[in-house]
């Protein structure tokens, strides 16, 4: 499959913002945009739940919605190659099946109630967990350009694809990259008297992020990179940085993950609480 940006579209405010983000990203990359709407199963097969018009009316309405989305994307970027697809099935499963290593899926966040703006819907979370390529989750009211991309860096191999994706995004946008390697001192429950040479610890953490970035700096010499290694929980550092970023990029899992089908705790926290769009990039 050739590189493609897929915009998941359901007509909501979040989906409209995600469509704009996806169209801009496809135009920057010079790749096609595919707008997908998934018709979820509904109980029209059960006689107790009859609906006026039936499934054909839903299909026709979805087609009109996709046509409007396509028109919006073409007006935003007249030279962009745009196509649409109407698919059926459980949305999270169907969207994940559309993914590939060179395909970016962009979708809006869907609140679940409770803390407004804090929770990402189950479809977005599931797609970010199970897709094979990058997944970008966009909140409805974003859009102010800040000219900065933020990426989380650690010493695990899983952070490499996220770092490459972030550098490429920064280069395409003409933005700076802020690479954050956040860390915490280990807590020795049975030896609280253990102390650390904090100066040496700080130097070690700074060397770690510098070593991780050295080869990438040579590959992307035109991207200005700012390194940070704060002593704080990684999720806290990335969420705080998201308030001044156009995009936050995280790996699908980091150190201590229990398996590739599990979205790491840091990635999940950032996905749910970041103030900017979040890209989850699988290894």
Q: How high is the pLDDT of residue 144?
A: 67
Tell me 185's DSSP state. P
CATH assignment of the domain containing 58: 3.40.50.620
Asked whether residue 280 falls in the same domain as residue 148, the answer is yes
Q: How high is the pLDDT of residue 188?
A: 52
Asked whether residue 41 falls in the same domain as residue 108, the answer is yes
Report which of residues 28 and 55 the model is more confident about: 28
pLDDT digits (tens, 9 = 90+) for 240-277: 999 999 999 999 864 444 344 456 788 889 998 999 99
Instruction: Tell me the mean pLDDT in the region 1-16.
Output: 89
Of 124, 143, 162, the residue at which a domain comes to its end is 143
Report which of residues 169 and 58 the model is more confident about: 169
Asked whether residue 22 falls in the same domain as residue 80, the answer is yes
Provide the number of structural domains found in the chain: 2
pLDDT score of 124 more than 90: no
Asked whether residue 14 falls in the same domain as residue 105, the answer is yes
Which whole-number Å values give the CA distances from 65 to 31, 35, 71, 96, 105, in the listed order? 23, 11, 10, 22, 19
What is the Cα Rg of the chain in Å?
A: 21
Find all residues with CB under 8 Å of 121, minimum gap 6, and list them: 109, 110, 111, 112
H or E stretch including 68? Answer: helix 54-76
Q: Is the Cβ–Cβ distance between 223 and 176 less than 8 Å?
A: yes
Asked whether residue 176 falls in the same domain as residue 189, the answer is yes
CATH assignment of the domain containing 213: 3.40.50.12370
Q: How high is the pLDDT of residue 78?
A: 97
Asked whether residue 83 falls in the same domain as residue 201, the answer is no
Q: How high is the pLDDT of residue 186?
A: 61
Of 115, 143, 171, the residue at which a domain comes to its end is 143
> How would you classify the pairing of strands 135-138 and 103-108?
parallel
Asked whether residue 179 falls in the same domain as residue 190, the answer is yes
Provide the residue count of the chain.
283
pLDDT digits (tens, 9 = 90+) for 191-237: 455 565 666 666 767 777 787 888 889 999 999 999 888 888 999 99
Asked whether residue 47 falls in the same domain as residue 164, the answer is no
Asked whether residue 232 falls in the same domain as residue 185, the answer is yes
Q: How high is the pLDDT of residue 189?
A: 47
Of 118, 143, 168, the residue at which a domain comes to its end is 143
Strand arrangement of the beta sheet that strand 82-88 belongs to? 82-88, 33-39, 4-8, 103-108, 135-138, 278-281, 247-251, 148-152, 176-180, 225-228
Q: How high is the pLDDT of residue 71?
A: 97
Asked whether residue 111 falls in the same domain as residue 162, the answer is no
- pTM of this structure: 0.84
- Residue 191's domain comprises 144-283
Asked whether residue 203 falls in the same domain as residue 133, the answer is no
Asked whether residue 221 falls in the same domain as residue 98, the answer is no
């Amino acid at each position: 499959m050739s590189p493609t940006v897929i915009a998941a579209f359901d007509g909501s405010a979040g989906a409209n913002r995600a469509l704009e983000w996806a169209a801009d990203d496809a135009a920057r990359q010079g790749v096609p945009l595919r707008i997908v709407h998934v018709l979820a199963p509904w109980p029209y097969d059960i006689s107790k739940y009859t609906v006026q018009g039936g499934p054909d009316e839903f299909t026709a309405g979805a087609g009109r919605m996709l046509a409007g989305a396509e028109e919006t994307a073409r007006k935003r970027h007249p030279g962009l190659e745009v196509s649409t697809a109407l698919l059926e099935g459980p949305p999270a499963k169907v969207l994940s099946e559309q993914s590939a290593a060179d395909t970016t899926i962009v979708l809006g966040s869907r609140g679940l109630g409770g803390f407004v703006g804090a929770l990402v819907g189950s479809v977005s979370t599931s797609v970010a967990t199970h897709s094979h390529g990058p997944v970008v989750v966009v909140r409805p009211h974003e859009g102010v350009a800040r000219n900065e991309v933020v990426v989380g860096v650690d010493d695990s191999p899983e952070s490499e694809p996220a770092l490459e994706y972030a550098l490429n995004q920064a280069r395409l946008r003409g933005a700076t990259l802020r690479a954050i390697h956040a860390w915490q001192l280990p807590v020795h429950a049975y030896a609280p008297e253990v102390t650390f040479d904090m100066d040496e610890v700080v130097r070690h953490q700074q060397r770690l992020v510098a070593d991780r970035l050295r080869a990438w700096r040579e590959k992307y010499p035109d991207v200005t990179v700012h390194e940070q290694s704060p002593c704080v929980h990684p999720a806290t550092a990335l969420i705080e940085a998201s308030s001044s970023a156009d995009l936050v990029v995280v790996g699908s899992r980091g150190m201590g993950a229990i398996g590739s089908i599990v979205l790491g705790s840091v990635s999940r926290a950032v996905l749910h609480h970041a103030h900017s769009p979040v890209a989850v990039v699988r290894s």
